[in-house]
Amino acid sequence: MFYSLQGEGARAGRAAVFCRFSKCNLWNGREDSRADAICDFCDTDIVGTDGQNGGTFANEEELSKAIYEMWPSADQNGRSEPYVIFTGGEPLLQLDKALIDKMHSLGFEVAIETNGTLEAPEGIDWICISPKADATLKLTRANELKLVFPQELAKPEQFEAFDCEYFFLSPKANPLEQSKQDSVKQFNTQLALDYCLANPQWRLTLQTHKILNID
């Protein structure tokens, strides 16, 4: 868990507490199996619970308390709505209505970033779907759809009829390249830019948190 600015999509620049769940249903997170994964371009450590402010929590009370304590105390005066983003891994493997309700009771707006292959519990305020390869989607309605681009088995036109407010292309990076001189990402950024210009339903989103070198 960490407190930072949302770096992508329609809410880029907004302060949020990020709660990153371990485990995903499209890759086990181990490098020796990356080539066989449905999502073989994942750039996130989803193995274990020893990440930043990580750990295991017995119930929604414990986890919601930890999230609440990360929101700046100086802002607990009603001027802005506290915001939590559940991500992963795949958050819908673990996120349930009890935790959503608890976060609401603490005044938080609740968002998720999901691959869309699992049903979502009721009460989530903002849903971002990020389709991966040919994985079957259960969610076709969301606030935004963010497609890592390009993907041979997940082309933008496959999702244009989804019930979403925003459609974004996020240039695919080399997951093993940590420098800002990622030639794969640079090439794919131009591809995404050209696609958005030719298909204005789609918008370009960049990982500004990585550009700014923040969490």
Active site residues: 18, 24, 39, 42-44, 113, 209
At 103, list the tokens.
């976060």
35 C-beta neighbours (distance < 10 Å), count: 7
d(CA 16, CA 12): 10
Residue keyed to tokens 């997951």: 175
Would you call 47 exposed, middle or buried from its count of C-beta atoms within 10 A (0-12, 13-18, 19+)?
Answer: middle
Instruction: Assess contact for 76 and 7: CB atoms under 8 A.
Output: no
The amino acid at residue 192 is A
Strands (E), 13-139: 15-20, 83-87, 109-114, 126-129
75 C-beta neighbours (distance < 10 Å), count: 12
d(CA 12, CA 209): 9
